[in-house]
Chains A and B, each alone.
Chain A
Amino acid sequence: MKRCYTQVLLAVVLVCFLAATGACTKKAVKKDSGLGEETAAQGMKKPGEEGLEEARSGGPKWNDPTPEMAAYFKDISFEYDRVTLSPEAKESLNKLGEWLLKKTSVQVLVEGHCDERGTAEYNLALGERRAHAAKQYLTQLGVNADRISTLSYGKERPIDPGHTEAAWSKNRRDHFLYR
């Protein structure tokens, strides 16, 4: 299948119906033939369905928050090998959520990061879950899920290269970018 690398939102609709239990009952997921259905993809999701959507390619660059935005775009931190949002994290997300509800044209990228102690591959899964924890919370505050992207870097991009608890705790974070 040919892949399109241009800066276009690619979303191929691949839908697998879930049973009431949340289990995937259909084993082989049929692949859609291609492009042109990207606009449909967003609207077609129903509760209880799992979208096998293509990731977005290219698009405008994600930016670090401006000084004015910095108060809302604060990193949130996690316990080792955990994805639970702390009360402080929720407080930060409340501020970000409020701000996003006012600035409706802004999109957010949540980067999930881990400290160096775990296994690299497992940390990619953990970082994705950390990013989703923030996304889910913001969505519950009323921010449209389509405005929030997630990206896991696992332990590939520490902000503090140290090997102390202080460094680790800085590195176990969700980091927020905008565009």
Chain B
Amino acid sequence: MNIRRLVLDVDKAISRPTILEVGEAIEGVAGVEGFNITVTEIDIETVGMNLTVEGEKIEYEALVEAIEQTGAVVHSIDQLVAGAKTVERVKRER
């Protein structure tokens, strides 16, 4: 499957790893052309982040492995875009 975009729910402890360390790990994954890490929640000891990764033939397993090797945790896949072309989400209207 040609994964073009992944939106992941990623959490990490407050003190470490730093967001830069997580970013460096993501950058090294095959297929990743660009990414965005946005902090969505800061708790007393944890930071919740929304991670959007775009590219061509992104290796999901390698991506999760790289993120988790830094000490951050992937909780869920919130969006997956794959195939020969990028298909944006269409809101249903009734």
Q: Do A and B belong to a common assembly?
A: no
Chain B residues within 8 Å of A, Cβ to Cβ: none
